[in-house]
């Protein structure tokens, strides 16, 4: 095996020059002298026999070869950093904290039961729970800020395993004007009444819920506020059926009888931000969540069918596929 002629330190200097916008800025970022950063980039050019930068007007810009080297160098550095983090995690018995991003449509009671079971064996481990909506989950996962996520959208560059499939229905208070119409409803009916929406927790607000056709709309930041407003007759909204099961059973909410689109399904995935080097405690919590979801889905299927669930069959409010 031939030893690399260029060190990680030299590749790091190249990446810093590109991302900081110049040699002086890169030197400040790396806490090095400008001459040492310049020498590192020049050595890369000399050893590889190509130009990384070229003058365009008064500014230096990446050549085509330089653009390729920058992308590959950035990946190389990220892989090296991930390797070191993973090695540190393997050296440690348990981590002191788990960072978890979970979309608010995942059943809260089920998640808390999983936390309680985890705490039976790891009471000292802190859990940082980020309850996210739509794009907020993607942003929470960016840069490895989370250890684990439960999300309806697997961001580019990550892989996810199917965890649970939720049934989502439109609902309002039984005395809401939409219910008092006493007939099957259309989208035109919905447009004339206030819709309650939980705000995308992402900064960019790049993703939207499935239907935002109402002329009146109240946007709130929490699922609990939306449910409370609907129970007060202040609007209608789409909810995971399991998330409003108590309100449905108590008669505070009632599904809207839409002619079409009266239900939809949301598939949630479990995503590790670093699947190659997950912490021991992260894997343990993930296994608890996956097992608990499977058991609950199987129980729901048995209750609805009156017999043991067939593999792969659909459950009512949610299923594990």
In the beta sheet, which residues pair with residue 267?
Answer: 165
Is the Cβ–Cβ distance between 114 and 289 less than 8 Å?
yes
Structure pTM? 0.66
Element (H, E) at 240: strand 237-240
Q: pLDDT (tens digit, 9 = 90+) per residue, 102-147?
A: 999 999 999 999 999 999 988 888 999 998 887 777 787 776 778 8
Count of C-beta atoms within a 10 Å radius of residue 211:
14
Q: pLDDT (tens digit, 9 = 90+) per residue, 181-230?
A: 999 999 899 999 999 998 876 555 555 555 667 778 899 988 999 999 99
Helix 23-30 with 34-48: angle, nearest 10 deg: 110
* Alpha carbon distance 209, 214 (integer Å): 12
Q: Kindly tell me if the per-residue pLDDT of 283 is higher than 70.
A: yes
Is the Cβ–Cβ distance between 254 and 179 less than 8 Å?
yes
CA angle 11, 12, 17 (to 5 degrees): 100
* Alpha carbon distance 148, 129 (integer Å): 10
Largest separation between any pair of C-alpha atoms in the chain: 80
Average pLDDT along the chain: 85
Alpha carbon 143 to chain centroid, angstroms: 12
- Could you say which DSSP state residue 221 is in? S
For 152-169, give the DSSP string.
SS--TT--EEEEEEEEEE
For residue 65, give every residue at least 6 positions away whose Cβ sits within 8 Å of its Cβ, in sequence order, or none.
Answer: 50, 51, 52
Q: According to the model, what pLDDT value does residue 312 have?
A: 40
Element (H, E) at 101: strand 97-103
For residue 255, give every residue at least 6 positions away whose Cβ sits within 8 Å of its Cβ, in sequence order, or none.
Answer: 169, 170, 171, 241, 248, 262
* Alpha carbon distance 109, 75 (integer Å): 40
* Alpha carbon distance 32, 17 (integer Å): 12
Q: According to the model, what pLDDT value does residue 83 have?
A: 72
* Alpha carbon distance 89, 20 (integer Å): 30
Q: According to the model, what pLDDT value does residue 159 have?
A: 85
Element (H, E) at 67: helix 64-91
Q: pLDDT (tens digit, 9 = 90+) per residue, 25-81?
A: 999 999 999 999 999 999 999 999 989 888 787 777 889 999 999 999 998 888 788
Residue matched to tokens 């439109």:
170
Is the Cβ–Cβ distance between 200 and 139 less than 8 Å?
no
For the chain, list the strands marked E by DSSP: 53-56, 59-62, 97-103, 126-132, 148-151, 160-172, 195-198, 217-220, 237-240, 254-255, 264-272, 318-319
Task: Record the tokens describing residue 122, joined without a space.
Answer: 């790891």
């Amino acid at each position: 095996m031939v030893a690399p002629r260029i060190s990680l330190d030299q590749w790091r200097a190249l990446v810093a020059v590109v991302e900081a916008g110049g040699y002086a800025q890169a030197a400040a970022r790396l806490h090095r002298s400008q001459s040492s950063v310049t020498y590192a980039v020049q050595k890369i050019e000399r050893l590889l026999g190509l130009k990384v930068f070229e003058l365009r007007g008064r500014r230096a810009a990446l050549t085509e070869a330089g653009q390729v080297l920058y992308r590959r160098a950035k990946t190389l550095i990220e892989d090296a950093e991930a390797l070191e983090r993973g090695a540190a995690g393997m050296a440690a018995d348990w981590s002191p904290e788990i960072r978890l991003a979970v979309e608010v449509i995942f059943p809260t009671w089920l998640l808390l039961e999983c936390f309680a079971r985890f705490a039976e064996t790891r009471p000292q481990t802190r859990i940082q729970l980020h309850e996210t909506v739509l794009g907020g989950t993607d942003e929470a996962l960016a840069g490895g800020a989370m250890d684990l996520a439960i999300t309806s959208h697997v961001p580019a560059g990550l892989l996810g395993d199917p965890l649970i499939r939720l049934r989502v229905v439109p609902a309002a208070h039984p005395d809401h004007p939409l219910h008092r119409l006493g007939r099957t409803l259309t989208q035109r009916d919905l447009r004339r009444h206030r819709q309650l929406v939980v705000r995308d927790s992402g900064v960019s607000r790049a993703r939207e819920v499935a239907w935002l056709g109402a002329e009146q709309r109240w946007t709130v930041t929490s699922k609990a506020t939306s449910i409370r407003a609907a129970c007060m007759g202040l609007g209608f909204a789409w909810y995971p059926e399991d998330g409003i099961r108590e309100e449905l059973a108590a008669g505070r909410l009632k599904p809207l009888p839409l002619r079409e689109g009266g239900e939809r399904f949301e598939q949630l995935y479990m995503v590790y931000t670093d699947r190659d080097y997950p912490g021991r405690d992260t894997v343990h919590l993930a296994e608890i969540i996956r097992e608990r979801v499977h058991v609950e889905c199987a129980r729901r299927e048995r209750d609805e069918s009156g017999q043991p669930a067939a593999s792969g069959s659909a459950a009512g409010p949610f299923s594990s596929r």
